[in-house]
Amino acid sequence: MADTPMIRSGFMLPDYAREIATTHLGLRILRLNVSELRPENREDDVLRSLEAALRPLVRGGTARIFRMPEGDYILAFHKDQTDRVRALLVRLRFLVQDDPLADHFGDPAERNSPLLHWWRLEDDFPKLRALAVALEDEAIRRAEAMAHRDGTRAGSATVNATHAAAEADERRVTLRLGANAEASTAPGTASGPAPVGSPGGAPSSSTSPPAAGSSEEPDWRPIGATGPAAASARGRDSRETQARRPIDLDILDRLVNGVARADLANHVRRQTVCALVGNAPPQPVFSEIYVSIPELRDTIAPNVDLAANRWLFQHFTETLDRRILAWLNQGGGRPTQAGFSININVDTILSENFLRFEQVIAAGIHGTVILELRVEDVFADLEAFAFARDFIHQRGYRLCLDFLTPDTLALLDRQRLGVDLLKLFWRPDLPHHLDTPAGRTVVDRLKRGEGGRTILCRCDDAAAVTLGRSIGITMFQGRHIDDLTSIVDGPVAPDAWP
């Protein structure tokens, strides 16, 4: 069986149009107009990441994908796979720097925009056929030009012009992007992955959500999710918290020294943020890398209440920031196609430690690195935050405002603050809070588009997802999402990146 690139040259589109000439009912075409993006979003490193994100659709038999000569992409799939494709589009938004067209990745299915063009082939097959004819004409023109240059007969050169153009195009892309030459021997015909033309072209997505029966809180809390109310949020026995000694300056000094010597590898965790669209299975967007503070506390200071003093705790997390950055640097700062986020303080962004981290992390993956800031840290010094925000945006990172409640979210203007994402915390009484005047303002804002920029985290049961989807949120994080994706929240080995 011949090996075939996952993403085919657009010059193979005429063959595909002939293949489905009588079987195109129910098929959809999505044209992703990458050529309309800003030049910096069409550079090789961005295209590598984009193609790596697209390839699972081909590998799973969900879609056929063609790379057009001008740089656009054609996705062909059955209408039953529309939700899977839309879930992928949510992820693609994170691969594109601040671009005026990026928000169109979150548009509803079949809404045309400068970035996305949708065709229903039962109505629009003539458009596909016209495009195929134009590609054949272009292939013949190239063949004739090459024959004239080489002094050969044009007639023989144009017989298989589209195949010759496709081979030349794929060689060029392989030389330019390297990784995009990944081949497929997926089930189907010898010419490529399983044909897209029926609902059965993709694996089943009938994963049943597990029952939300466990009331036990997880024994971790990401840095950004830890604060003065950490003990109650974790459901710990209040008597246990009262028995601990409150953190003070002397204890803080010992803790800082302890963290400097501790092996953080055993306390580093990851948890994936996923897009949930329609009936499609969860689509990983990025993974949050964080330190399990309760486990770390139990190791270096089991009898200390870290949350007793907000500002000393803040200083403690700045020490953890430096260690996490060093840990990432020691791992080589290797690129990850899925992307990752880290919890960080504003002061850490303005430090030499972050500059060293910046030197290690490859410039090409900045668009997939998200920095999560706690809302109280941002408003503690807005001038410092504004400086840090502008610096990291210039370097291509994304900003997520963490630890939000409906009340704080109602007071925020994401665009005015200049942050890319918001992280709202789920709790069982969230529906009640969203039914207040401030909450209804939040719901209206989410439904009008901000839901595409908001992550609902701590989703420990299906009720959280149900509520989030009902108010326009498309990205989720928590134990329930881990269960759906079979992602085990465990230690991250230095060479096991998200």
Nearest to 1, CA basis, from 167, 142, 191: 191
Nearest to 231, CA basis, from 294, 295, 164, 151: 294
Angstrom distance (rounded) from CA 463 to CA 466: 5
**Residue reference for tokens 């992703």:** 32
State residue 214 phi and psi, 5-degree precision.
-85, 130
Q: Say whether pLDDT at 218 is over 80.
A: no
Whole-model pTM? Answer: 0.77
Three-state secondary structure call for residue 441: helix
Domain boundary among 185, 200, 215: 200
307 located within any domain: yes
Q: Same domain for 312 and 261?
A: yes
Angstrom distance (rounded) from CA 141 to CA 121: 28
Alpha helices per DSSP H over 427-461: 430-433, 437-447
Is the separation of the CB atoms in 289 and 275 below 8 Å? no
Structure-block tokens of residue 348: 């850490």
Three-state secondary structure call for residue 5: strand
Is the separation of the CB atoms in 479 and 460 below 8 Å? yes
Q: Same domain for 232 and 179?
A: no
209 located within any domain: no
Q: Say whether pLDDT at 412 is over 90.
A: yes
Q: Same domain for 232 and 191?
A: no
Say which amino acid occupies 80.
D
C-alpha distance across the termini of the chain, in Å: 33
Is the separation of the CB atoms in 402 and 343 below 8 Å? yes
Nearest to 474, CA basis, from 450, 442, 458, 498: 450
Q: Same domain for 242 and 378?
A: yes
pLDDT at 94 (0 to 100)? 83
Report in angstroms the alpha-carbon separations of 413 from 90, 101, 442, 450, 495: 22, 20, 11, 10, 38
pLDDT at 132 (0 to 100)? 96
The DSSP call for residue 402 is: E
Structure-block tokens of residue 265: 């590898």
325 located within any domain: yes
Domain boundary among 169, 200, 231: 200
33 located within any domain: yes
Round the average pLDDT of the chain to a whole number and report it: 81
pLDDT at 114 (0 to 100)? 97
pLDDT at 333 (0 to 100)? 43
| Burial class (CB within 10 angstroms; exposed 0-12, middle 13-18, buried 19+) of 148 | exposed
Mean pLDDT of the 1-19 span:
84
Q: Same domain for 150 and 262?
A: no
490 located within any domain: no
Segment holding 349, helix H or strand E: helix 346-349
Maximum average pLDDT range among 205-214, 278-287, 481-490? 278-287
Nearest to 324, CA basis, from 262, 374, 376, 386: 262
Beta bridge partner(s), residue 460: none
Q: Say whether pLDDT at 231 is over 80.
A: no
Which residues touch 179 (CB under 8 Å, ≥6 apart)?
48, 51, 52
Please give the residue range of the domain that contains residue 267: 223-485
Domain tally for the chain? 2
State residue 455 phi and psi, 5-degree precision.
-110, 130
Which residues touch 451 (CB under 8 Å, ≥6 apart)?
471, 472, 473, 474
Beta bridge partner(s), residue 76: 29, 64
218 located within any domain: no
Q: Same domain for 38 and 160?
A: yes
Is the separation of the CB atoms in 291 and 269 below 8 Å? yes
Q: Say whether pLDDT at 408 is over 50.
A: yes
The DSSP call for residue 371 is: E
The DSSP call for residue 112 is: -
Residue 142 CA to its chain's centroid (Å): 39
Q: Same domain for 141 and 252?
A: no
Q: Same domain for 45 and 185?
A: yes
Angstrom distance (rounded) from CA 344 to CA 223: 8
Q: Same domain for 193 and 249?
A: no
Q: Same domain for 181 and 228?
A: no
Is the separation of the CB atoms in 138 and 165 below 8 Å? yes
What does the pLDDT look like over 302-353, one tens digit per residue?
889 888 888 888 889 999 999 899 888 877 445 455 689 999 999 999 999 9
Alpha helices per DSSP H over 374-413: 375-380, 382-394, 406-411
pLDDT above 90: percentage of residues in the chain: 52
Q: For position 333, which CATH number holds? A: 3.20.20.450
Domain boundary among 139, 166, 200: 200
pLDDT at 3 (0 to 100)? 55
Q: Say whether pLDDT at 221 is over 90.
A: no
496 located within any domain: no
Where is average pLDDT lowest: 41-55, 264-278, 295-309, 453-467?
A: 295-309
Q: For position 22, which CATH number holds? A: 3.30.70
Structure-block tokens of residue 4: 């075939």
Q: Same domain for 153 and 34?
A: yes
State residue 423 phi and psi, 5-degree precision.
-120, 110
Three-state secondary structure call for residue 73: strand
Q: Same domain for 112 and 180?
A: yes
Angstrom distance (rounded) from CA 26 to CA 32: 20
Is the separation of the CB atoms in 342 and 358 below 8 Å? no
- Is beta strand 283-291 parallel, antiparallel or unpaired with respect to 340-343? parallel
Angstrom distance (rounded) from CA 134 to CA 253: 71
211 located within any domain: no
